């Protein structure tokens, strides 16, 4: 009967764990999504214009401005040199000033957005550079102004590639958001740290990983689908 | 059948056959032009230079270009790659900034324009490209709408114009197709429709047929010619293919190393080519002799290139020559071509016989108005 008791004990532990997972995972999945979606939006708001400026101020492009191009390029590179964990710690005072606290889900959005914006800028830059020079030249020859070339030619022509780039950013931010969990951010990262790492709860750890895998797969699939819909090539 | 003045060059009035219209009205219009003193000069390029600074020094892409293009001309600019012809045409709508010199369009110096004035000027110059440069994210109709959208044409007018243009380029059934679903020739037709959307004064064609196969090239050129005849649209064509010039151009300029070597009416330039490069282009359409024939010049045989133009192309000159002189004539290569409404014959023959007889025979040919040139090996 001792063997049966052991089994019984394990069953109870498993039941507890399942209950715990069901309690924790949905809410923390939501927190992760909230952080990543809002951060992606901020990153695009800042990064998209930066990417556009990086392209059009380049030598031989429609608004050649070598100085602006070099300054902006340097800013983006500096932003991208910070390992995320260091960036997160370094800007704690700024985060506290902006949000009122450096802990929790909303506070994590600040470092996540700052880390992702230069990334988005480079992603947008490389997407816009894929457009054939001739297409932009044709638009210039027809008498388009700069705004028309950006909004009616460059962005629509590169949209499919930009969508894939934003999907890439989104998936990267899921990874970063888990790191935010280590210093008091919310989301799936927090559970993995608190239950999986600090309390040796393998079950919760595995569940968290499975949820993350499904999340990344789903996001990538949606991104690919939208990009394919937009692409007319 | 009537005539209309094609151009006024070297003191001669050149008349072109046209349907309808009376001769007197043409003379009147000619008198008017002379009274205006300027003819219908649409584009005038004066002392144009273009230099590129590179790490290996300065590249002179254009050197002192002077060129006049009149209204309703189909003006061909031919040259090998790197001759500067593309740079030249890009200076007309300022896709390239000239280093020095002036470009007048309708009497306005466009090198002085900036900002909005420059954009407005560009809206009146259509351009088509070797690689079509269509917007892949827009349908055929959307591509044609683009130039009208950016110049603020009302939606209803746009739609009417798109319909007209699609009919003109025979793509009505492809209005909602995307460029990736079209063939090269169809893409260039969309390019042409798009270039015509804002009713331009001139259409610039930058190697517009170089990416197309010969049959498609021919149909695109025919379309351009139709548009020229229907609307009197001035067309400037950049090409490296003599066949393009031959098929539709009225005038031609030959370029090499950033300079215009010779220019004028197509039939003049190509029946009396002066420069080596021009001769090369002429030979490319009248075909040339295989290399091994060139070594056959012997004391009693000479290779001759004979050029017939106009009336001499229709006379049995060679047949008379053989009866009159003691020579044999062996035709190696030849053909009769239409060079813009003129008949041009080109023959390469081997003449055998005594030297003195051959000399007399050559003299006879020259008397008959045949251009005669000994082909050197």
Q: What is the pLDDT of residue B24?
A: 41
Q: What is the pLDDT of residue B352?
A: 86
For residue B39, is pLDDT > 80? Answer: no
3-state SS record for chain A: CHHHHHHHHHHHHHHHHHHHHHHHHHHHHHHHHHHHHHHHHHHHHHHHHHHHHHHHCCCCCCCCCHHHHHHHHHHHHHHHHCCHHHHHHHCHHHHHHHHCCCCCHHHHHHHHHHHHHHHHHHHHHHHHHCCCHHHHHHHHHCCCCHHHHHHHHHHHHHHHHHHHHHHHHHHHHHHHHHHHHHHCCCCHHHHHHHHHHCCCCHHHHHHHHHHHHHHHHHHHHHHHHHHHHHCCC
Interchain CB distance below 8 Å, B134 and A230 = no
For residue B333, is pLDDT > 80? Answer: no
Which residues in chain B are contacts of A232 at CB distance < 8 A?
136-137, 178-180
Q: Where are the alpha helices (DSSP H) in B60-113?
A: 85-92
For residue B315, is pLDDT > 60? Answer: yes
What are residue B204's DSSP bridge partners?
B127, B236
Interchain CB distance below 8 Å, A230 and B137 = yes
Which residues in chain B are contacts of A153 at CB distance < 8 A?
135
What are residue B45's DSSP bridge partners?
B67, B103
For residue B367, is pLDDT > 60? Answer: yes
Cα separation, A140 vs B3, whole angstroms: 40
Q: What is the DSSP letter of B134?
A: -
Alpha-carbon gap: A82 to the closest alpha carbon of chain B (Å): 36
Q: What is the pLDDT of residue B296?
A: 59
CA dist list (Å): A93 to A97, A107, B97: 6, 11, 51
Antiparallel, parallel or unpaired: β B57-70 and B41-54: antiparallel
Alpha-carbon gap: B94 to the closest alpha carbon of chain A (Å): 8
CA dist list (Å): B56 to A4, A88, B52: 88, 49, 10
Instruction: Decide if the complex's ipTM is over 0.90.
Output: no
B77 burial via Cβ count (<10 Å: 0-12, 13-18, 19+): buried
Q: Which of A137, A141, A160, A231 to mutate to test the interface with B (most CBs of B within 10 A)?
A: A141
Q: End-to-end CA distance of chain A: give it in Å, rounded.
A: 69
Q: What is the pLDDT of residue B351?
A: 87
Cα separation, A97 vs A95, whole angstroms: 5
Q: Please check whether the domain covering A14-128+143-230 is classified as CATH 2.120.10.80.
A: no
Q: What is the pLDDT of residue B317?
A: 84
Q: Where are the alpha helices (DSSP H) in chain B?
A: 23-36, 85-92, 115-123, 140-150, 155-168, 184-196, 214-231, 242-248, 266-271, 276-286, 317-324, 355-367
Q: Which of A143, A153, A162 to mutate to test the interface with B (most CBs of B within 10 A)?
A: A143
A97 burial via Cβ count (<10 Å: 0-12, 13-18, 19+): exposed
Domain ranges of chain A: 14-128+143-230
Q: Which of A105-109, A181-185, B33-37, B61-65 has the lowest mean pLDDT?
A: B33-37
CA dist list (Å): A184 to A36, A82, A94, A180, B324: 16, 19, 16, 7, 111
Tell me if residue B83 falls in helix, strand or coil: coil
Cα separation, B354 vs B373, whole angstroms: 18
pLDDT in tens, B213-245: 988 999 999 999 999 999 999 999 999 988 888
Which tokens in the block code for residue B185?
């020739």
State the pLDDT confidence band at B293, using cuts at 50, 70 and 90: low
Listed in order, strand segments (DSSP E) in B36-153 are 41-54, 57-70, 74-78, 100-105, 108-109, 125-129
Alpha-carbon gap: B17 to the closest alpha carbon of chain A (Å): 34
CA-wise closest residue to B86 among B191, B240, B200: B240
Q: Which of B51-55, B173-177, B336-340 has the lowest mean pLDDT?
A: B336-340
CA-wise closest residue to A177 among A215, A137, A149, A131: A215
Q: What is the pLDDT of residue B174?
A: 92
Antiparallel, parallel or unpaired: β B108-109 and B125-129: unpaired
According to the per-residue pLDDT averaged within each range, which of A3-12, B56-65, B152-161, B272-281 is highest?
Answer: B152-161
Alpha-carbon gap: B178 to the closest alpha carbon of chain A (Å): 7
- B227 and B239 Cβ atoms separated by less than 8 Å: no
pLDDT in tens, B92-150: 999 998 999 999 998 889 888 888 899 999 999 999 999 999 999 999 999 999 999 99
Categorise residue B178: left if φ over 0, alpha if ψ from -120 to 50, beta otherwise. beta
Which tokens in the block code for residue A17?
């764990």
Cα separation, A122 vs A109, whole angstroms: 20
Give the pLDDT of chain A (233 residues) as one tens digit per residue.
455 677 788 888 888 888 888 888 888 899 899 999 999 999 999 999 999 999 999 988 888 899 999 999 999 999 889 888 888 889 999 999 998 888 888 889 999 999 999 999 999 999 999 999 999 999 999 999 999 999 999 999 999 999 999 999 999 999 888 888 777 778 888 888 888 888 888 888 888 899 999 999 999 999 999 999 998 87
**Domains of chain B, first to last:** 1-39 (no CATH), 41-282 (3.40.50.300), 287-374 (3.30.70.260)
Q: Which of A42-56, B166-180, B183-197, B342-356 has the lowest mean pLDDT?
A: B342-356
- B122 and B91 Cβ atoms separated by less than 8 Å: no
Cα separation, B26 vs B8, whole angstroms: 13
Number of other CB atoms surrounding residue B310 within 10 Å: 13
Interchain CB distance below 8 Å, A141 and B95 = yes
Which tokens in the block code for residue B319?
């047949």
Smallest CA–CA distance from A62 into chain B, residue: B95
State the pLDDT confidence band at B289, using cuts at 50, 70 and 90: low
Collect all residues from B whose CB is shorter than 8 A from any CB in A: 93, 95, 119-123, 125, 127, 129, 131, 133-138, 146-147, 149-151, 178-180, 194, 198
> How large is the C-alpha radius of gyration of chain B?
24
Q: What is the pTM of this model?
A: 0.78
Number of other CB atoms surrounding residue B172 within 10 Å: 13
Q: What is the pLDDT of residue B295?
A: 60
What are residue B302's DSSP bridge partners?
B351
Cα separation, B195 vs B199, whole angstroms: 8
Q: Which of B93, B135, B191, B204 to mutate to test the interface with A (most CBs of A within 10 A)?
A: B135
Residue A99, φ and ψ in degrees, nearest 5: -105, -20
State the pLDDT confidence band at B294, using cuts at 50, 70 and 90: low
Smallest CA–CA distance from A134 into chain B, residue: B133
Segment B160-166 shows an average pLDDT of 93
Cα separation, B166 vs B197, whole angstroms: 10
CA-wise closest residue to B300 among B262, B338, B328: B328
Report the mean per-residue pLDDT for chain B: 82
Segment B302-308 shows an average pLDDT of 81
Tokens 């939208």, residue?
Answer: A226
């Amino acid at each position: 009967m001792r063997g049966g008791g052991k089994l019984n004990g394990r069953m109870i532990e498993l039941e507890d764990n399942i209950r715990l997972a069901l309690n924790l995972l949905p809410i923390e999945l939501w927190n992760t999504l909230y952080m990543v979606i809002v951060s992606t939006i901020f990153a695009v708001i800042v990064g998209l214009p930066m990417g556009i400026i990086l392209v059009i101020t380049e030598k031989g492009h429609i608004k050649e401005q070598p100085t602006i191009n070099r300054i902006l390029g340097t800013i983006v590179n500096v932003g991208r040199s910070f390992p995320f964990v260091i960036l997160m710690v370094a800007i704690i005072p700024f985060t506290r000033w902006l949000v009122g606290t450096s802990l929790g889900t909303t506070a994590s959005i600040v470092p996540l957005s700052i880390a992702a914006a230069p990334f988005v800028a480079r992603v947008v830059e490389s997407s816009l550079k894929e457009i054939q020079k001739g297409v932009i030249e044709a638009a210039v020859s027809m008498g388009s102004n700069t705004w028309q070339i950006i909004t009616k030619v460059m962005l629509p022509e590169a949209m499919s590639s930009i969508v894939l780039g934003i999907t890439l950013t989104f998936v990267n931010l899921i990874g970063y958001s888990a790191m935010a969990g280590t210093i008091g951010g919310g989301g799936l990262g927090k559970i993995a740290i608190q239950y999986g790492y600090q309390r040796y709860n393998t079950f919760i750890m595995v569940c968290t990983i499975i949820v993350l895998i499904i999340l990344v797969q789903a996001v990538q699939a949606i991104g690919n689908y939208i990009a394919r819909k937009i692409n007319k090539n | 059948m009537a005539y209309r003045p094609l151009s006024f060059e070297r003191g001669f009035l050149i008349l072109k056959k046209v349907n309808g219209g009376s001769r007197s009205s043409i003379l009147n219009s000619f008198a008017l032009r002379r009274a205006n003193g300027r003819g219908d000069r649409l584009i005038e390029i004066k002392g144009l230079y273009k230099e590129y600074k590179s790490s290996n020094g300065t590249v002179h892409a254009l050197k002192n270009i002077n060129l006049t293009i009149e209204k309703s001309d189909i003006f061909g600019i031919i040259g090998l790659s790197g001759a500067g012809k593309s740079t030249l045409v890009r200076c007309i709508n300022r896709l390239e900034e000239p280093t020095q010199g002036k470009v007048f369009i309708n009497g306005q110096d466009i090198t002085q324009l900036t900002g909005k004035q420059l954009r407005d000027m560009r809206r009146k110059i259509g351009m088509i490209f070797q690689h079509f440069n269509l917007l892949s994210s827009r349908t055929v109709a959307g591509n044609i709408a683009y130039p009208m959208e950016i110049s603020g044409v009302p939606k209803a007018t746009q739609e009417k114009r798109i319909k007209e243009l699609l009919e003109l380029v025979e793509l009505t059934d492809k209005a909602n197709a995307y460029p990736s679903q079209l063939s090269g020739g169809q893409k260039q037709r969309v390019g042409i429709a798009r270039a015509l959307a804002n009713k331009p004064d001139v259409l610039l064609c930058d190697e517009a047929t170089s990416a197309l196969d010969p049959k498609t090239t021919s149909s695109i050129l025919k379309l351009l010619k139709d548009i020229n005849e229907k609307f009197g649209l001035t067309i400037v064509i950049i090409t490296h293919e003599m066949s393009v010039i031959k098929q539709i151009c009225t005038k031609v300029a030959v370029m090499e190393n950033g300079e215009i070597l010779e220019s004028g009416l197509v039939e003049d330039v190509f029946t009396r080519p002066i420069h080596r490069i021009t001769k090369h282009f002429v030979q490319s359409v009248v075909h040339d002799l295989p290399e091994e024939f060139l070594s056959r010049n012997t004391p009693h045989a000479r290779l001759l290139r004979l050029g017939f133009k106009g009336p001499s192309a229709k006379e049995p000159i060679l047949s008379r020559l053989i009866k009159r002189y003691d020579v044999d004539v062996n035709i190696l290569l030849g053909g009769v071509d239409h060079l813009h409404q003129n008949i041009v014959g080109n023959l390469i023959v081997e003449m055998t016989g005594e030297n003195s007889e051959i000399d007399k025979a050559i003299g006879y040919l020259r008397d008959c108005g045949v251009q005669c040139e000994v082909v050197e090996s």
